Amino acid sequence: MNKNMTVLLALLPIITIIVSASFSVFIWETSMHFPLIIGIIIAAMISIFCGWKWEDVQNMMVSGVKRALPAIFILMIIGTIIGSWIASGVIPTIIYYGLSFIKPDIFLPMVALVTGIVSLTLGSSFTSIATIGLAFMVIGEGLGFSAGIVAGAVISGAFFGDKLSPVSDTTNIAPAVAESNLFSHIRHMLWDTIPAFILSFVIFWVISSSGIGNGDANVNTITEIKTGLDNLFVIHPLLFVMPILTIILILKRVPAIPALIGVSLLGALLAIVVQGDSVSTIIHTMTNGFTGESESEAIDSLLNRGGFMAMFETIALVILATALGGILEETGAFQVLTRTIMEKVKSTGSLIGSTILSSFLVGFTTGEQYLSIILPARTFVGKFKSMNIDTINLSRAVEAAGTVGINLVPWGVPAVFIAGMYGITPAEFIPYAFFVFLVPLINILLGFTGWTITKKDYSTYAEVEKQR
């Protein structure tokens, strides 16, 4: 028989991970993989101490990883898309014409807006960050903006679109787990998402208008980048057909994985037909990433990347995080901690705040989006119903912290993915991801004021709970 999981035992893996993660990021300057491994070891030892067998613990980890398999497959495909879209000239063409038409005084708000539209259509923040976002990073370099500010605008747009997209995986997961309706959930999220994005847009507009990206010196940089692209690729506006086709596939509701595979293969075909690459060259690029030498250091640093293999660091992080999450969930460790939090919940504001706090607790422990949504939603759904508060408020809260707020975790999967993609540290872009800060704050404010918090009669549910 299993022993009771105490609060102290439940906290040990979390404390271990947060401490080792802090050392990993700020002192050892290495990845989050080793802290997660330590966390898994500690969690496994505690589980065995509480009465579970090693076979049980192993099954818990496998169960956790299973939930992340769709995301793992998508990450692998994104790696090949990055390689094929660069080799085919799609991303270089976007950069080339972007440098020709986008002006410094509107650059940052346009980055957030365009990335948001692309992400809303694709339903994937990671895909938009890796494609249109990568192009904007090079354009920003040419216009004289720091990489961190541009990345902050890309992230704000990417997660704005991801959060509201009906084809986004996290947007579908949250209402499913919180027992609310998908489209009711999306409509309810307009109350926190739109104000947060408008505020972010205004802030980026003020920064752009302040003259940070202006100056005659940038003309030489822009010319250098455009010349380098022109020498390395065939640049043609017809290559815009690729992002347009991608949008059409998503609008036609083609499932994400087949659609992304098709987009990747079409990019490879364009690389062969338009750029003159051989089949072996494009296969190498899709596997190991693009490599080329231009006349611009900015081009080489941002375009020499991509490929299937480049995704494995992030994939390994997802596997470790979900394995740990499997243990924490199935041993009841997370439930023990949240039960302590829920005992102090007396009002709607404290309920919303506790839900967001719990999502951040999972996020800072595992660094994983899915778990930051799933575990708190499963845990708090009964509390919302017992207080007759509509569960669309729950799904909105877990998305605020789990989908968006996870970007505040330096060792989280999104931050690690972005840092690896753009070659900058999380500390450089997190302070400028204004949307990421605003969404959870607005949710807490809505919770304590009661504005937009919808009620629902769950009296039947409450009666059933009392009889248990």
Query: Do both 303 and 348 map to the same domain?
Result: no
463, pLDDT greater than 50: no
pLDDT attached to residue 468: 41
Tens digit of each residue's pLDDT (9 = 90 or more) over 269-281: 999 999 999 999 9
Query: Do both 117 and 45 map to the same domain?
Result: no
Q: What is the mean pLDDT of residues 418-428?
A: 89
pLDDT attached to residue 374: 83
- 240, 94 in Cβ contact below 8 A? yes
Q: What is the mean pLDDT of residues 424-438?
A: 94
364 domain residue, yes or no: yes
Query: Do both 294 and 335 map to the same domain?
Result: no
pLDDT attached to residue 167: 63
235 domain residue, yes or no: yes
Counted domains in the chain: 2
Query: Do both 303 and 374 map to the same domain?
Result: no
Highest mean pLDDT of the ranges 20-29, 115-124, 157-166, 210-219: 157-166
173, pLDDT greater than 90: no
Query: Do both 61 and 78 map to the same domain?
Result: no
243, pLDDT greater than 90: no
Of 407, 412, 391, 408, the residue nearest 174 (C-alpha): 391
Query: Do both 374 and 412 map to the same domain?
Result: yes
274 domain residue, yes or no: yes
Q: Could you give the dihedral angle defined by the CA atoms of residues 233, 237, 243 and 249, in that order, rounded to the nearest 10 degrees? A: -120
Query: Do both 249 and 204 map to the same domain?
Result: yes
pLDDT attached to residue 211: 72
Last residue of a domain, one of 253, 278, 311: 311
Last residue of a domain, one of 281, 311, 341: 311
65, pLDDT greater than 80: yes
99 domain residue, yes or no: yes
pLDDT attached to residue 461: 53
pLDDT attached to residue 152: 97
264 vs 155, higher pLDDT: 155
- 204, 156 in Cβ contact below 8 A? yes
What's the whole-number average pLDDT of the chain?
Answer: 85
Specify which residues 455 forms β-bridges with: 389
164 domain residue, yes or no: yes
Q: What is the mean pLDDT of residues 10-39?
A: 83
Q: What is the mean pLDDT of residues 407-432?
A: 90
Query: Do both 136 and 56 map to the same domain?
Result: no
91 vs 160, higher pLDDT: 160
pLDDT attached to residue 1: 42
Reported as a pLDDT band with limits 50, 70 and 90, residue 397 is very high
Last residue of a domain, one of 256, 276, 311: 311
Query: Do both 353 and 267 map to the same domain?
Result: no
pLDDT attached to residue 46: 93
Query: Do both 17 and 78 map to the same domain?
Result: no
**Which residues form the domain of 268?**
70-311
Sequence-ordered alpha helix ranges (H) in 27-168 = 33-49, 54-67, 69-87, 90-101, 107-122, 125-130, 132-143, 147-164
367, pLDDT greater than 90: no
Query: Do both 255 and 346 map to the same domain?
Result: no
316 domain residue, yes or no: no
455 secondary structure, DSSP code: B
224, pLDDT greater than 60: yes
Of 135, 112, 138, 124, the residue nearest 78 (C-alpha): 124
435, pLDDT greater than 90: yes
Share of the chain above pLDDT 90, in %: 34
Lookup: tokens for 254: 């083609």
Highest mean pLDDT of the ranges 195-199, 285-289, 332-336: 195-199
207 domain residue, yes or no: yes
321 domain residue, yes or no: no
Query: Do both 142 and 256 map to the same domain?
Result: yes
